Each structure stands twice: as C-alpha cells, then as structure tokens.
Structure 1
Amino acid sequence: MKNTILIIPLVCLLTACVHDKQSAGEPSSEPLRTLAEQFKQPADCYKPYVWWHWMGSNFSKEGITKDLEAMKEAGIGGATIFNLASAVQETHAPTENNPWPEQTFRSEAYWEALRFAASEAKRLGLKLGLQSTPGYSTSGGPWITEERGMQQVVSSRTSLSGNRLVETVLEKPELPVYKGWGSTQQRASYYRDVAVMAVPEKADVKTYEILDLSDAMDTTGLLRWQAPAGRWTVYRIGHAPTMSNPHPLPDDLIGHALEADKMSKEQMTYHWRSVLEPLKEHLKEYIGDSFTHLLIDSYEAGDQDWTPDFRKDFIRLKGYDPLPWIALRNSAGERNDVKQFTEDYKEVVSRLYIDNGWKIAREMINEAGLKFYWEPYFGPFDSFESVAIPDIPMGEFWTGGKGAIWNTIPKAARIYGKRIVGAEAFTGRPEISQYTEDPAFLKHTADGSFASGANLLFLHHWVHQPFDDRYQPGMGMGWWGTHFGRHQTWIKPGKAFFTYLARCQMLLQQGVFISTDERMLHRKTSDADLYFIINPSDSVETRTFAFAMQKRIPELWLPDKGIICQAADWRESADSIFVNLKLNADESVFLIFPDKKENGYTAMIQPAIKVCGESSREVAGPWPISFAPKLGEPFQREFAVLSDFSEDEDTTIRYFAGTATYRKTIPVDANTVGKQKRILLDLGEMNDIAELTVNGREADVLWYPPYLADITPWIKAGENEIEIAVTNNWANRLIGDEQYPADFEWGQDRGEKLGRAMKAYPEWFLQNQPRPSNGRKTFSIWYYHRKDSPLQKAGLVGPVRIIEQDVEME
C-alpha cells in the first residue's frame, strides 16, 4: 500500500441488532461478521447502565415511567436502583416538607413502586437491579441489631501490684458511638466479655508469661486473683458493635440501621435472607427477567476485627491463640513479633470476610435467580482474591481525571476468567460536575476507563425525577455525580455518546485480553485481533503502530460514527504490519485484523479515501435561529454574525439553556456533486452538542471536536436546506436564576466552590401554586452557582465552512 492521507469517510450502512442472548453484561463472544452487522446499533446487552438514585420517599409512578422511557430512548440498557437519603448533603436530613411521608423504605407504597418499575422495565426491554442495602454502602439495614452488627475488640486496662490477693472491679470498656449521617451520636449498648489477660509490666514480655484470668472475674466485673509478685496490667477484653451504618440512608432509617457482621456466616446468611426473601415475595415474576442483579458499591463500612467465633477461627487458621497477643500488642506496641501477629490477624480477617461474607453473598444471590455485581475494594480483605467472587467485578472512575480504574480489578479479572469488568462511571465532585458536563468533556475519562480494562459502564448518575416536568433540573444526589437524567438539556442528542459507549463495550467484551499500555488495548477473538487505540492528548497526533503479524488486512472501526472502513496508510514487512494513524485530540478507533479476508461483511466496509484537492468557503450570515428553552416559551431571533450566547446583551439569550436551531440555505454547484467529490460541513467552535439535518434528513450528531461532518450523501445540486440544532448545558440558566431572589429557604451552604442546598420544599411547590419569583425558572435540590459565577460559552460560534474535496477511492 502506498502512503495516503488518512481521511475517514463519515457515512455508513445501517445494521440491525440481531440478538440479546444473555442477561445484561454477559453477552457471548460474537463472530466478527455479527459484530459488523450491529456496529451501527449494538444489541441491548452491550449498552451502558445507569445508577438510578431514588432520593428518600421522593418517588412516583409517573416519574418512573418517564425516567425509564427516557433511558430507553437515550440508548441505556438498564439501571441499578439506589435507595438514598432525600438530602444527601444536608447536615440534618431529612429534607423538610416531605410531599410523600408515607412512602417509607419497604412500605407498601415502596414495594408497589418497585414492582411498577420492574413491570415498566419489562415493557421497555430494560434490565433493573438494586443496590443491596439502603444507602450506597455496604451490607446492612434496619434488620441488623447491635448483636448482629459488625464487631470490634474493646478493652479496659487496670494497673496493679502483685504478691497479694486482688479484689477489684475491672472497668467495662468504653463502647463505640453510632456514626450516622444527620443523627445524634448514639453509643452502643451491646457488649460481651471475651477474656481477662494479665501482662507483667516489664521489658520484653513473652506471651507465655501472660496469664488468662477469665475464670477469676465474675459477671459483675469483679476480679478475685492471687496475684504473683511484681507490677501487672490487667486487660478486660470484650467485643462491641462498631456502630457502622449503611449510608446515606433513606430518611426514616437514619439512626435505625447497622452494617451486618461480615465475618460471621450466621449473620451474613441472616442479612441476605432479609434482603432476598422480601424481593422474591414482591418481585417474583420479574426476577431473572427484567429484575436481574444485586450490587454492592465500594466498601465504606470501616474496619471490623472481631466476631464471636474469631478466636476459634484464628486458632484453626494460624495454629495459635490470638488473645495473649492482643494483650501484648496493647502493652508492647509494634515490636517485630507483634508485627508478625498483626499480619496474621489481617490475613484471618480477610479470610473470614471472603469465606463467611462475600462468598455467602454470591451463593445466596445466585440461588435467588439474580447476578451479583460488586466493587471489591477499600475494605479489610484481599481485593485481588475477591474479584473471583462476583458475577461482574467492578471498578470506578471519577469525572475529570484520566478515567483509569484501579488496575487490580482488571488484572485479577483476567486471572480469574472474568471477561466483563464493570465500572462505576463519571462519579463527580461538585467542583467539576455543576450541570456543566457534556459528552465532549466526558469522552476523555470514558476512553481512559476502556483502555484500563473496563468494558461495562454504570453511569453515575441518573437521579429519579418524581415531580412534574415544570421542576427542572429537579432532584439531585446532593452535590455528587454527573447529571445524566431525563432533565439534562442534551439527553436526546446525547444518545450519540451513549451509543459510542455501547459500540466500545461491544468490541471490548469480545474474546480474551492479550495486552495493554496507556494508549492501546489488545483483545483476540476466534477470528480477529482487536486493538482499541486512543489519543488522550489535547492535540492531533500521528503515530506508526507496529503489529507482529503477516498477511492480514487492517480495518478501522470508528466507534463515534459506527463506520467500518479500510485502513488508508499501512505497509507490510517480512514479519510485521505497520499502520500510520492520524488521531485528533481525544479521538479513539478500533484497529481490527480479521484472520480471513472474507468475513461476510465486505459490503459494509467503506473504502479508504485519498484527497486530491480541496477548497472551502465560509457560510456567512444572517442566521435565523429558533430558540427552544428547556424551560419557557420558544422564541425567534436573527443573528447577523455567529456569536457566543453568554456574551449577548439580551438576558433571554445570555442565560439561555436548551436547543437553538440555526437554519441556512447553501447553494452547491452541480460540478461539485458526484462520485469523485465529497462535501464536508465544518462548524468551527460549537457549544455543546449539535444535531445536523440536511434537506430534511438526519445527517449526523456532532458531540466532540472537531465538529466536522461528511454531508455528501444528503447534498444535491442547487439549494440545500441545512439545520444545525445546538444544545448547551444548564449552567447559564441556573446562573441567570441567581439574579433573582430565592423563593425557598436556603439550607446548608458549602461555599462558592461547592454550592448550597434547598432546605425544604416551599409551600407554593407543595400546593402547586405559581412561583412567587417570576424571574426564576429552574428548580433544583442543590445549587452550584451564584449570581456572579462565570457563564459558560454557548451556541454556535463558528466560523461555519463548506469544504469541497476531490477524492479518489483506494
């Protein structure tokens, strides 16, 4: 092959979804022909999921239907329901003036809503699951008492002199305090003695010198002991609940739920029965159908170092009694032999977490007909080994970084044969996620997660919107998360981004992993080698990639467009194939080497194109624009020249959030239309996402730069009607609202960088009355902006150009 400039054709044949063989997240490895046939629109099993946060009692059937229908339309495959507090970020939850006080966790209204959600998901072909515990961490609930909760070693110490009969009451150890969100501190009441140990007060004490005085203390704590000569420290050792609780709990559960003992098979069995039995009772016809999985988020339950059988289990696993060493550690600190005991102790804790906790979870969840999804890290257990347990192990990445999930998860998944690696995706802090997010911003972290080994994203978040559509952007998860819900301004054109994720996931779930570096991941199937290649930089890069193979013809599969085309610039040596790729900033491609030349989809492959000549012309104004605000009445304007909305003197435009449709008639000469001609539309600067229509036909969605579309298939000689529907984000409208007085009471204020809460639903909202503040249009639970917050660039800035090319097909 001779060298050519790599120009990607931007048209493709339509293919159909051909199957949905298995439950979500577990598609079988497909032949290349099948993948090519559904590359334009992947099957449902490859689509991303969302975390669907139900905030306290704020849920409604109307909102459930609208949310799920919007997910389906947007290209989402399913959702995991989380039951959280109504005001995650408030100091004193719950949110006041609750409109649905009867809709408490596990009330009849709750079960009816959950059944309704499962039935609606079935109607729409979506899959649902549930975060296993109320809150987002970890495994507990109101059915867990202090006795059944996580336990820790507690002790008191008494120093005394010997060579006499000692009669003294050993003080009961101080008990832990409940660390609940938004609740008063509540000290534990449950306590059980484990042992009384006497340690000589001298240097270099040995464990055989430590005496067990457990039989010398009665139930009141009175110790009667004929103490040998010398000074002694006597430890009264017991265990008490850590008081760790799931969080952030639905309002009615705050202060009334604890984390289950994760080292006790008895208590974890009890916990999972308490989770699963009611689900089987209320959702029995949907389990394994539209209701498919339970999920455990990353571990946030804190440390646990005791369970009633711990001493017996430690002796079984390590061959010696831990109690003298516990006493010695309290006295001697971290000397070398104590350090070794500490390591042994950690290993036993990990073993009991895994064997008595997480394996029990998997077994019981699967027996109930559900899959187990889990983020197995941040806890006092071996994360690498734990990856083997769930049906789908998961990592996480936060918005704004490189996107890579913790490498232990994909590495262990490969060792244990887990082909699907999930990821909690785009979790965001308030400094970054302020209703300013758009697909162009999110692509960088998404690609980083794929390159690191994730291949099934669970988007964080899609908060349930239970209210009338007048109240937008509506409910949020406090200040957390990227805002993907149905009230997001760009959710409709955003389907192009979600479909991009699905195409990547479809290919990255195939075959087996071979290797990776920071810019390229290699997987191999029965009939092809697949390479996912990214350019994570902010500039165009041209690189030569070498592949140790022969007699293979490379293809470029473009996941942002759903196009398959011949690689344009490559050569073959005696033992390698070299491919030159020119990638735009944050561009990603799949380079695929079929094992055979004929794979049954030759007709779908677009030829490589060589550009022989090119000219361009700017599309001048005026520009008629139809404004469709996300909230408010549509209106028309005409711009003499393109400009940034945020700089407009008219506040209706300066604070606009929604879709602005630009219309233009573009003449095209007959001699520029033909087989060897190509016409491109370059939008220049655009904010944030554009739907392009040419002569009444949907041509493209441009969602990350450069905003360049091949419009050749839709262009005709003569006059051509172009529509560019540009949607920006919520930020400017939210800032515009801050120019007017608040018609509600402010709650917690975290400062200008983090934002502030709505403390309570105002009476005019609860009574369905007109707003007192006519200027305010938005309604939100968390406000990130102030009146002087910087506005975001908005609209089509251009310059818009028509590019006409003379081309040759390779």
Structure 2
Amino acid sequence: MHGRRFLAALALLLVQPPAPLQATAPDAVPNPTALQGTFGKQDPETFQTPPAVHHPQTWFHFIGGNVAKEGVTADLEAIAAAGISGVQFFHGQFGGPWPGVDPQIQCLSEPWDDMVQHVASECRRLGLRFTIQNCPGWAMAGGPWITPDKAMRHLVWSRTDLADRPTDTIALPQPQPSQEDWRDYRDLFVVAFPTPAGDTGKALTPAEVRSNRDDLPWTQCLQAAGDGRITLQPADEPVWVEVTFETPTLLRTVELPSVQSFNHNWCYEPGVTVTVEALLPDGPQTIAHQQMPQSNWQGNRPISLACDEITAEKFRITIEHLHTMTLAYIQLFSGARKNNWEAEAAFVLRGLDQIEHPDQSETAWINPDSILDLSDQLDAQGNLQWDAPSGHWTILRWGHVNSGKRNGPAPPEGTGWECDKLSPTGAETHFAGYVGRLAEGPIGNGLLHGMLLDSWECETQTWTPGLDREFAARRAYELRPWLPALAGFVIEHPETTTRFLRDWRSTINDLLVQNFFGRMAELGHEQGLAIAFETASGDVFPGDLLEYYKHADVPMCEFWHPRMDSFVGSFNFKPIKPCVSAARMYGKPRVAAEAFTSFDLSWTEHPGMLKPIADMHLAEGVTHLVFHTYTHNPRTDFLPPGTAFGSNIGTPFLRQQTWWKAMPEFTDYLARCSFMLERGHPVSDVLWYIGDEQDHKPLQDAPFPVGYRYDYCNPDALLHRLAVQDGRIVTPEGIAYELLWLPNNRRMLPETLERLVTLVEAGAVIVGDRPVGLATLTGGARAQARFDRAVHALWGDTTSDAPRKVGLGSVLAGITIEEALATRAIQPDVQGTGVVWSHRRTTGADWYFVAAPTQPFNGDLTFRATGTVELWDPMTGRTAPAQVREQDPSGTTLHLDLPAAGSLFVVFHKNALPSQAPAATREQTRSIALNGPWHLAFPAGW
C-alpha cells in the first residue's frame, strides 16, 4: 500500500470511525447483465464507491468451545465497520479451553445451534452475507452422521498364486489394509488368469550392492522389507547404486516410494530423474529413463517404473535431483507393471506419461481372453470353489473398504467419516446431516446465504457400490475383465491398458462431478444458497481440472504468503489458473480466493505488506478476496491484538489489531479492483486445450510467450460451450480467443476431433500436431474409424508442417505457440517487463490492471489498445488523463511511474470523452521537528 496515503487515512479514521455497510446483505455475485453493459459515465462513479457486493469477505472461525455471544457481536460489528461484506463460517479445533472462556460450547449441541443462529442473526442486522462451510473443520465433507458404508471407499485386493494345484477349494486372503471394524470390508469380485512370465509378485534381493555414496544404507534400502531410509543432498554429480545378482536376472519393473515423499515442498515439481541401466559385457544399456512426474501434497502411493525387458547380472540406478530428497526404499521386480499405474488407475494424482512404452515380451502381459471371472465361486468365508486348470495361475480377490478419511480439524464431537464422493447418496446423507439440518432449523428463514466446499484433504476414492454398472453404462463395455489393470498388470499391450485406464479415470471423474459436486450444488440451491467450491480435481484428486466448477456459483482458489518458489507460496502448489479458466469456460462472473493463508504468522502482518501479494493474484485472474482469517474472540476484555488461528497459521484479521481502524482503505482498494476485474470480459489470445486423458494440471510456470495471456479449456467446454465468430473461438458470454492450442494431444477421443473439425471449418485456427492414437477403448473399430476420418480432415495424409486450410479455418502443425502467434501476426497485448497485468474489455472501453508488486517501475509500456487514455487509481478512486507517449492503430505507449507495491488501471475509452471525475493529485507531506521532549506510549498490557 502507498505508505503516505495509508498513514493519512489511518490518522483520519482514528478520530472518525467508518459507518457499517448497508443493512441488506449483498448478493453472492454482481449482476452479470450490469457487468457486461456499455462502459460509460456511471463507471467512474461506481469505481469511486463500489457497492458492497464487490467488497471482500472473511472466514470466521470458532475454535473449539471458545465461543461467547458478546464476542460474536463485537467481532461482526468490527467486520462490518471494516468494509468487509460477509463471513464464511467454520468451526475448527486447535488445543483446549482458553483462559476466561466458560462455559465451553460443544459443537452440534443445542447451545451451539443457538450460537450459530446468533452469528447469522447478527450478520442480518449488520448487512453481512452469511455462508457456512459444509461441515465442521475445513476439510472436506464429513461428520458423525456418515456411517462407514456411506464413507469414501477404496478398492483393495489380495493375490494368490497356484502352480498345478490339485485341490478345488482355495482359501483367498481377505484384502484388508487394517483390521478395525470401521474398515467395513465388502467383497466384490474374483478374477484369475495365467501368471505372466517371471511374475512372482515378490521383490528381487541382490547379492551385492555398491554406490558412489557407500556411506549410505543402500543394502537395507534395496531389501524387500528393508528400512534403509536415505537422505540425498544436492550434489555436483548424480548418485548411483549398483546391484549384482548371483545369476543372470530378468528385470522389468522398479518401484520407488511416492513422489511427494522425496521432498514434500517440491512435490508438484520434484526435479528428480531416475535412470536404470543393465551393465552388460559390451557396455551399459539404458532400460528406463524418466523424470519423476509432478505429484501432489497428498500423493502417498508408490510409483512403478516400467523397464525395457532384459536379463543381466548387474544393474545400475542413477538418481539426479535438484533438491534435498529422501528415499525410503527401492524395489526391483521381474514381473511387468504398467508404468506409473498407481496414477493411471486413479489411486493418486500424478502427471501421466508422455513416453514410449517399454520393449517387453508379450509373455509378460495378460491375454485378455484368458481372464476368468470366478466371483460366483467365492463363499462367505473367503473360500474359492474352483477346479483350476493345470499351469500357473494368479487369482485376485477384490473388495472395497472405508478409506478411513475424516473431516477436520474439527471438535471431536463434530468429527466423522468423509462422505462417499461418487454416489449421490453420500452427498444427500452429508447435506442432511449438517447444512440441511441448520438451513431448515436454527438458521432458516433466509438467515443462511451460501455454502462453501473448502479444502480437499481426503486424497482419492476408487469405489462406490455399483461403480461396475456405472462403468459399463458410460463406457459401453464391462469392467470385470479389466480389473487386473487396476492392480498394475498389463493387459494385451501397454497401449491397450492405457486406454482402459483413461476410461476408468473418466468414469470416476464423471461420478465425482455429477454425484458429489453437482448433487451438493442442487441440494444447496434447493435451500436458496449460493455455492462456492475450492480447488480439488487436478490438484489432489485425479480428474478434470475445470469441469466440477461448472456446478459452483462462485469458483474459488487460494493463495498464501509469503511468495516462494516451492511449497504453499508457489503457483504450482496453490494454482490460480485452473479456477480462473473454469470461471471463464462456464460463464461465472466471479473468481474468489481464500487470501493470505500462511504458515508464518508473525504478528508483523499489515495491509501494506499484503497488498502486493493481492496484486499478483488479481493480475492472475482472481476478482474477489476472502480473508484467511478472522478468528472469533469470545472475550471483549482480552489484551490486544487478540486471538490466533492455531499457533502459526493464517493472517490475523482481528478487531484489536493496531491497524484495524484503517482496514476500510484496504477493503475499498480491493472493492475497486474487484469491480474493474469483474466488469466486462477478460482478454486472452490463446485457449490451451488440456487434453482428453484426465492428466495433472500443466506446470503453472511452464514457458509461455511474454506479453500474451491464455486460459485452459477442457473436453466438456470444448464440446458444449464453444463456437466460432469472426474467425475467433468464443464462449456464450462473449470471451474470444484467437488460437486453440493442443500442446498435449498424444491420444484423443473421436468426439473431440470431430468437434475440432466443426470449429475449424467454421473459421477457427488450431495449433497442434496430429495425435498418435485413440484415448479410449469405447467404440472399438467404429471409434477408430471416426478417429481416422477426423485426423485426416484436420491434418491430411502427409506429415507436412505447412499451414493447412480447412474450411474457413486452418491447422498449424509442427510449430511452437510463439511461432503460431507470429504467423498469425498477433501482436503482444502488453510490451514491457517489470509489471504484472491483466486486460478486460466491454463495449466502449478496454482497461488494464497494472501493478509493480515488489520493485518500483519507471518505464514505457505498450498496450494493444487505442482511444482516449486515463489512469484510474484504485487506492483513491480518482481518475486522471494519461500522458500518451505514442499512439497508432496498433497500440499505445505510455510512460508509467509506479512505486513498489503500486498499481493502477489504464483505461482506453472508445469514441468517448474521458470521465469528469476529480483528477488525481499528489498528496503533500510535511515534517515536524521534534525540538523538545517527547514521549511514546503503548496501551496497558502490551
């Protein structure tokens, strides 16, 4: 925040407390029709004094039983006076009772219901929106009303191997991960198949181990039941370990621990490369070379690396790593497993392979015609009645169990199982147990305005009752013959298995989107609630990055401080672009963000420190802030600055903060930015298609041409929400894109390709190379024929990279996106560095948000816009004519002088006179000489 302005405002507000906001709570989002109207004289007036709907909100946390009505009233009055427009209510748990807080309130009790009603009633009195997190705690959706059978469920299996066994009764182990009753094990299927060549299911044990780091416990690390945890520091040379077997040994698979366990802070960009070599008499032969894929902070499953098949006595594993990493074990197997199958089978979110399949013998894979369904031959005691044919057979007994995930951190009496996310029954039971009960009871009659689905911290889910039927209905083939692929086995060929696993992930995504996010939104809407979702799929859960957001009224992301290259301060760990893109693809006018979360609470935080963090994310597409957090202070006689949210978490937005009376200047600033960043449409040149394979999100710092903006597009939006107008791809709301980019289209669906043909023939321009194959097993030969026809229509018969005309549009292959922009003569939207920016437009005007978050900026910027230019200052609400250095039909060059943490809007009026709002003036400051004695005092108790 500009320092002199902030201090001047503070001095004024200390003697003149601001009036609270209007007594009517604002809507969840601004009126879309008004946002898209012609830019005119009302805009500078609204900019100067934005309505409450544009003001930020805050999270409001009860902690344990430390609650009192007097404190609630004091808190909410302070929130309203600060220019905050609403609260999102949570009940969390850290520690025990606080001093002087008695009695303690039990979550979900009658006194608690009364207290929540008091919060809602006070919000109504003060004109604040009241939104509630959908369960106690902040993660994710569960409570004591969820029984194990309606909890999140996981597939589990056990393996039994037979070798010419004569008996026809076989005891199959129950695949139970642990023995607690709450696991609620249920049997599903039994399948059997001839054991693939060399596949014992047991890890290989080398006879000898050596390394260029012999000081580390490599022998224990490589033992099947070893405990040789190794820590590797970054070094000039890679670390290698060499294993020797007593006799020549076949190696097909290397298993490593979860990618996130290497270094949790860098789980989204691990910086680890693993190379496996066979050391042969004529020299080393590389049989696997892989960069570890991006993972996620809850990604706890191992990773399997598929190797070219080879027999040797010695192998070497080389590890290159950019960061300190921990390696708990390495296991080697002769059996073949699908590369990274744990991710492809949706047990964990990790980036998917863009590598060639390993060179292995077909005998290492399962012939699909040989798989037998023996499910009806298993009795209730786990005995299989089967007269097994001669030979070696592998039997897999499949079941499902409660995953064991609970909501939290919540008071014990408010804690229970996470609800089933793939069945509508899970959502219905959960909604009825908490939000539904409250909305029809203590906070009914319009007291409750919204429902939030906050942090996804419950990992993944791979089963719900009836999932096999859902799979068959949606994919048009049966699941059971493909079950071994969900345990990592390769069926028929790695490419065939890849396609099945994509169909599996897509089915899970469909159920998550429809039965959890969609059903929760329906239930909320039936109660008249506005629905907000935070990030889930493509961040922790393996699914479509954007699609679930279509059911939200307010898509929501989060950002933390301080900014850093890794962990929670990085865009890869806490992404913004998927949420922003979802809002744009699905016509949502608002992108909210949980703002200023932190693990570094120091009590030195203040608005001037937070503003540049906000500006960075406003430039990325966030339009509305929700502060993390305001922790309820039950006492009105407590020493300032008040109560902390945990010991070191969050930013303390509290009524007793030294800077609280100056908060209206900060919230006014954010409201002005929100108004301008929700007005009109965003301007981006490139629509980045994320592909048909349900992959991880792209790296958020992936190289992209400077001076341009892009948004992501997913299959659902491509198929159902895009059209072509004047050669550009447009959404129904009018957002337009010059190019559709296909950077990751190795495998595609026939319906995607057919839609691309339609768009290109209507005038669209796409940038991308031809795909190499189908992404699905659905449709068989007919799908392959559709795929071939569409690929031919778009890319033709040759491999030429020349631009190809297709109908009114064209296809650009064999070039980068930067080259494509140059080929189409699309000039940068902003030329110049040292600032962050975003661009919006409506009839009558273009405007750019420009900020210098960390360093002062004094230089020229060229904007791809023309017209009468003004500078609008969101700190003050004032507008002033800009000094134009140069303007021609291609754009306008201005010289801007911004202090560190400075920001402004550059507004281009089209065929209109500039606004008549008061011109911006530089405020004068003066110094006061302290020639005589002076005294600095602090309040008692500091």
Gapped runs of 5+ residues in structure 2?
A: 10-17, 198-364, 685-707, 710-834
Question: Which residue among 564, 577, 580 is the counterpart of 2:879?
Answer: 564
Contact 2:555 2:579 in 1 (8 A): yes
Q: Which residue of 1 aligns with 2:597?
A: 427
1:82-133 CA-to-partner distances (Å, cap 9, x unmatched) read: 111133xxxxxx5588955652222111111111111111111111101111
Relative to structure 1, the CA distance from residue 625 to residue 340 in structure 2 (aligned partners, 3 Å threshold; closer, same or farther) is: farther
Alpha-carbon distance change, 234 to 313 in structure 1, aligned in 2, over 3 angstroms? same
Deviation at 1:163, TM superposition (A): 5.6
Give the distance between the partners of 2:21 and 2:68, measured in 1 at CA.
32
> Is the contact made by 2:60 and 2:88 (CA closer than 8 Å) also made in structure 1?
yes
1:469 to 637, 641, 644: 637
Partner of 2:551, secondary structure, is coil
The separation in 2 between residues aligned to 1:328 and 1:594, in whole angstroms, is 60
CA deviations over 1:467-500 (Å, ceiling 9, x no partner): 2332444432212101111122211123212221
SS of the equivalent of 1:226 reads: coil
Separation in 1 of the partners of 2:59 and 2:98? 25
- Tell me, in whole angstroms, the C-alpha distance in 1 between the residues paired with 2:669 and 2:921: 22
Q: Does 1:622 align with 2:931?
A: yes
Aligned-partner Cα distance in 1 for 2:24–2:98:
45
Of the structure 1 ranges 323-332 and 500-509, higher mean CA displacement relative to structure 2 is found in 323-332
Task: Measure how far apart 1:326 and its partner are.
Answer: 2.2
Q: CA deviation at 1:628?
A: 5.4
- What TM-score results when the alignment is normalised by the length of structure 1? 0.69
Partner of 1:128: helix, strand, or coil?
strand
- Note if contact 1:197-1:236 (Cα within 8 Å) is conserved in structure 2: yes
How many angstroms apart in 2 are the aligned matches of 1:49 and 1:336? Answer: 49
Preserved contact between residue 71 and residue 633 of structure 2 (Cα < 8 Å): yes
Separation in 1, partners of 2:452, 2:480: 36
CA drift at 1:317: 1.7
Number of the residue aligned with 2:856: 539
Specify which of 367, 380, 391 is matched with residue 542 of structure 2.
380
Q: Distance in 1 between matches of 2:24 and 2:907?
A: 23
Give 1:435-474 correspondences, 5 Å limit: 435-474=603-642
Q: Retained in 2: the 8 A contact 1:129–1:291? A: yes
Query: RMSD across aligned C-alpha pairs, in angstroms?
Result: 3.2
Q: Does 1:197 align with 2:191?
A: yes
Paired AA for residue 931 in structure 2: P
Q: Return closer, same or farther for 1:492/1:19 CA change in 2, 3 Å cut-off.
A: closer
Question: Which of 84, 92, 109 in structure 2 is aligned with 1:84?
Answer: 92
CA shift in 2, pair 1:75/1:407, >3 Å: same
Corresponding position of 2:793:
none
CA contact (8 A) 2:612 2:854 kept: no
Match of 2:844 among 512, 518, 527: 527
Q: Which one of the candidate residues 568, 578, 583 is aligned to 2:898?
A: 583
Is contact 1:176-1:188 (8 Å) kept? no
**SS class of match (2:660):** coil
Identity of aligned residues (%): 31
Residue of structure 2 aligned with 1:389, choices 533, 539, 551: 551
Map residues 29-108 of structure 1 onto 2, 5 A cutoff: 29=35, 32-87=40-95, 94=96, 99-100=101-102, 103-108=105-110
- Deviations along 1:205-240, one digit per CA (max 9) or x if unpaired, are 212212111121111112221111012222221001
Q: Aligned equivalents of 1:216 and 1:53: distance in 2?
A: 54
Shift of 1:56: 1.6
Q: Give the secondary-structure state (helix, strand or coil) at the position aligned to 2:441.
A: helix
**In structure 2, the residue corresponding to 1:554 is in which secondary structure?**
strand
Q: CA deviation at 1:338?
A: 2.9
Please name the residue that 1:412 is paired with.
582
Q: TM-score, normalised by structure 2?
A: 0.59
Q: 1:437 offset after TM fit, Å?
A: 1.0
Give me the whole-angstrom Cα distance separating, in 1, the residues matched to 2:477 and 2:869.
Answer: 62
Provide the residue aligned with 1:262 in structure 2: 421
Deviation at 1:558, TM superposition (A): 0.6
AA of the residue aligned to 2:27: S
Letter in 1 for 2:606: D
1:484 aligns with 2:492: no
How far off its partner does 1:605 sit? 3.0
Which of 159, 170, 175 is the matching residue for 2:172? Answer: 170
In structure 2, C-alpha distance between the alignment counterparts of 1:588 and 1:285, rounded to whole Å: 42
Give the Cα separation in 2 of the matches to 1:623 and 1:131.
Answer: 56
**How far off is 1:145 after superposition?**
0.8
The total of aligned residue pairs comes to 597
**Equivalent AA in structure 2 for residue 244 of structure 1:** K
2:135 match: secondary structure: coil
SS in 1 for 2:168: strand
Is contact 1:399-1:482 (8 Å) kept? no
Residues 187 and 536 of structure 1, relative CA distance in 2, 3 Å threshold: farther
Which residue is equivalent to 1:320? 477
Contact 1:195–1:238 under 8 Å retained in 2: yes
For 1:605, what is the secondary structure of its paired residue?
A: coil
Shift of residue 160, structure 1, vs aligned partner: 2.1
Partner of 2:306: none
* Matching of residue 509 in structure 1 with residue 678 in structure 2: yes
Cα contact 1:567–1:608 (8 A) shared by 2: no
C-alpha contact (below 8 Å) 1:473/1:488 kept by paired residues:
yes
Say if 1:370 and 1:235 are closer, same or farther in 2 by CA, change over 3 A.
same
Contact 1:153 1:240 in 2 (8 A): yes
State the SS of the aligned residue for 2:505: helix
1:689-748 superposed Cα distances (whole Å, 9 cap, x missing partner):
xxxxxxxxxxxxxxxxxxxxxxxxxxxxxxxxxxxxxxxxxxxxxxxxxxxxxxxxxxxx
Range 449-458 or range 232-241, more displaced: 232-241
Tell me which residue corresponds to 2:121.
119
Note the alpha carbon deviations across 1:611-669, whole angstroms, 9 max, x for none: 9xx9x98643237656453x41xxxxxxxxxxxxxxxxxxxxxxxxxxxxxxxxxxxxx
- Does residue 340 of the first structure (1) align with residue 649 of the second (2)? no
Looking at structure 1, the residues matched to 629 and 142 of structure 2 have their Cα atoms a distance apart, in angstroms, of 22
Query: What SS does the corresponding residue of 2:170 show, helix, strand or coil?
Result: strand
Query: Hey, what's the Cα distance between the residues in 1 that align with 2:147 and 2:59?
Result: 28
* Matching residue within 553, 557, 564 for 2:868: 553
Counterpart secondary structure, 1:508: helix
C-alpha distance 607-537 of structure 1, shift in aligned 2 (>3 A): closer
Give me the whole-angstrom Cα distance separating, in 2, the residues matched to 1:328 and 1:443: 50
Q: Distance in 1 between matches of 2:66 and 2:921?
A: 54
Distance in 2 (CA, whole Å) between partners of 1:191 and 1:71 is: 48
- What is the CA-CA distance between 1:253 and the residue it aligns to? 3.3
- Answer yes or no: is the 8 Å Cα contact 1:176–1:241 preserved in 2: no
1:212 corresponding residue in structure 2: 373
Q: Look up the match of 1:249.
A: 410
- Aligned pair 1:592/2:754, yes or no? no
Determine if contact 2:26/2:85 at 8 Å carries over to the other structure: no
Structure 2 CA distance for aligned equivalents of residues 373 and 622 of structure 1: 57
Measure, in 2, the Cα distance between the counterparts of 1:624 and 1:37: 47
Q: Contact 1:20–1:45 (CA<8 Å) still a contact in 2? A: no
Q: Judge conservation of contact 1:134–1:247 (CA < 8 Å) in 2.
A: yes
In the TM superposition, residue 50 of structure 1 has moved relative to its aligned partner by: 0.5
CA distance, structure 1, for counterparts of residue 423 and residue 441 of structure 2: 28
Distance 1:300 1:45, change over 3 A: same
Tell me which residue corresponds to 1:760.
Answer: none
Change over 3 Å in CA distance of 1:202–1:32 after alignment to 2: same
Cα distance change of structure 1 residues 286 and 400 upon mapping to structure 2, 3 Å threshold: farther
Q: Who is 2:460 aligned against?
A: 303
Tell me, in whole angstroms, the C-alpha distance in 1 between the residues paired with 2:117 and 2:659.
30
Deviation at residue 416 of structure 1 after TM alignment = 1.5
Q: CA deviation at 1:553?
A: 1.9
